[in-house]
Amino acid sequence: MKFNISCNSILAPMRILQDQLDKLDINYLKHEEGYVEIAGNLPSDMRPQLDDKLSRYSVAIIEDEKECLVQRVKNILFEVVNTNKHQVQTLSCYLTDRLGFSYGYISGLFASHTFCSIEQYTIMLRVERAKRMIIEDELSLKQISDALSYSSLGHFSKQFKKSTGITLSDFRKIILRRKNGNY
Amino acid sequence: MVEKYERDTMKVMLADDDADDRMFFEEALNATSIKHELALFEDGFALMDYFSDPECALPHILFLDLNMPGKSGIQCLEELRAIPRLRDMSIAIYSTSSADRDIEDTLGKGANIYIQKPSNFDKLRKVISHVLKTNWQFHMSGLNKETFFLNI
């Protein structure tokens, strides 16, 4: 049988990092915000070892502070799009509260590091989640549209088409063809 | 913005038998603000010859002309998608056809992007820029490449 997998949070890469630190016998403190802290510095000879182990899982440690912030924004957006928590605040207020920087600063930094705006990125994540749900084939398009908080099925299908260039029904056809073919 | 573009070089390949189209593509790519390396192939045989080396360097994205004499784009696509190590490489079909059948057929066979060749330079520059930036998200953000489709 075939297993399709998905990963909806940074829990997995965090776990991988923790396991590797355990193996190297390094004490650390795990923070819920998505980073790990160790007392003092890592002995210089251990760093290449750690990087090498992590790279096998496509996990990398970020050094640059700005890049860290961009990654934290991505993590938060991922969480917002992939959980069904009701949003009381606007996204910009939420990011400002969580990160403690002005939205202007966050959005400017994000755009300069990722080639796209926070809004475009969020739409992309939402469309990606929609694709996964369509492939899982358990919910109707209307249910998916509701689960992703779109105001209507029409709006959902329009945004999908705008973002991918293909319609929802063509997407289904292509997925079906890939399932039936070897690819 | 420049700082980041300097650091991240996108590796791009194009296989197209038409010399004018290759030149047109290269100029449009140079006109974007994206730092890149471009490798060109003149036909499907040269392309497949390159990828037959299991040690060869892989691009982030390959632009593949659909209508090439000898070995067509669709044949290349099928052969490339049969090679497991190339799974993470995005393949963009670059074609003059806008037929729904071609779009469905190529995306169904494992292409990620379908581009109808734009007729003017400015449009081509914009399309290439959009495709490369979108592709970048899929490479840098751990999104699922198996469901990465773009029709433009």
SS (H, E, C) chain B: CHHHHHHCCEEEEEECCCHHHHHHHHHHHHCCCCCEEEEEECCHHHHHHHHCCCCCCCCCEEEEECCCCCCCHHHHHHHHHCCHHHCCCEEEEEECCCCHHHHHHHHHCCCCEEEECCCCHHHHHHHHHHHHHHHHHHHHCCCCHHHCCEEC
| Residue A103 included in any domain | yes
The model's confidence at residue B61, banded by pLDDT at 50, 70 and 90, is very high
Task: Give the CATH number of the domain where residue B74 resides.
Answer: 3.40.50.2300
Q: At what angle do helices A103-114 and A91-99 cross, to 10 degrees?
A: 90
**In this structure, are A101 and A163 located in the same domain?**
no
A76-96: average pLDDT? 82
Contacts of A131 in chain B (CB under 8 A): 144, 147
**In this structure, are A50 and A80 located in the same domain?**
no
**In this structure, are A148 and A183 located in the same domain?**
yes
In the predicted structure, residue B114 carries a pLDDT above the cut 50: yes
Task: Give the CATH number of the domain where residue A167 resides.
Answer: 1.10.10.60
**In this structure, are A140 and A84 located in the same domain?**
no
**In this structure, are A125 and A91 located in the same domain?**
no
Contacts of A136 in chain B (CB under 8 A): none
In the predicted structure, residue B144 carries a pLDDT above the cut 60: yes
Cβ <8 Å between A166 and B103: yes
Which helix (H) or strand (E) covers residue A36, if one does? strand A35-37
**In this structure, are A124 and A181 located in the same domain?**
yes
In the predicted structure, residue A134 carries a pLDDT above the cut 60: yes
At B2 the pLDDT is 35
Domain count of the fold of chain B: 1
Q: By the CB < 8 Å criterion, does A52 face chain B?
A: no
| Residue A4 included in any domain | no
d(CA A96, CA A146): 27
Q: By the CB < 8 Å criterion, does B141 face chain A?
A: yes
| Residue A132 included in any domain | yes
Closest CB from A58, A124, A131 relative to B137: A124
**In this structure, are A78 and A124 located in the same domain?**
no
Cβ <8 Å between A173 and B108: yes
**In this structure, are A95 and A140 located in the same domain?**
no
Domain count of the fold of chain A: 3
Best residue in B149, B150, B152 for a mutation probing chain A (most A CBs within 10 Å) = B149
Q: pTM for this one?
A: 0.77
Distance from CA of A30 to the nearest CA of B (A): 22
Classify the complex by whether its ipTM is higher than 0.90, answering yes or no: no
**In this structure, are A111 and A143 located in the same domain?**
no
**In this structure, are A28 and A68 located in the same domain?**
no
Q: By the CB < 8 Å criterion, does A114 face chain B?
A: yes
Contacts of A70 in chain B (CB under 8 A): none
The model's confidence at residue B96, banded by pLDDT at 50, 70 and 90, is confident
In the predicted structure, residue B6 carries a pLDDT above the cut 70: no
Cβ <8 Å between B147 and A131: yes
Of A41, A61, A81, the one marking the end of a domain is: A61
Averaged pLDDT of chain B: 88
**In this structure, are A170 and A182 located in the same domain?**
yes
In the predicted structure, residue A101 carries a pLDDT above the cut 80: yes
| Residue A70 included in any domain | yes
Domain containing A94: what range? 64-115
| Residue A3 included in any domain | no
**In this structure, are A93 and A125 located in the same domain?**
no
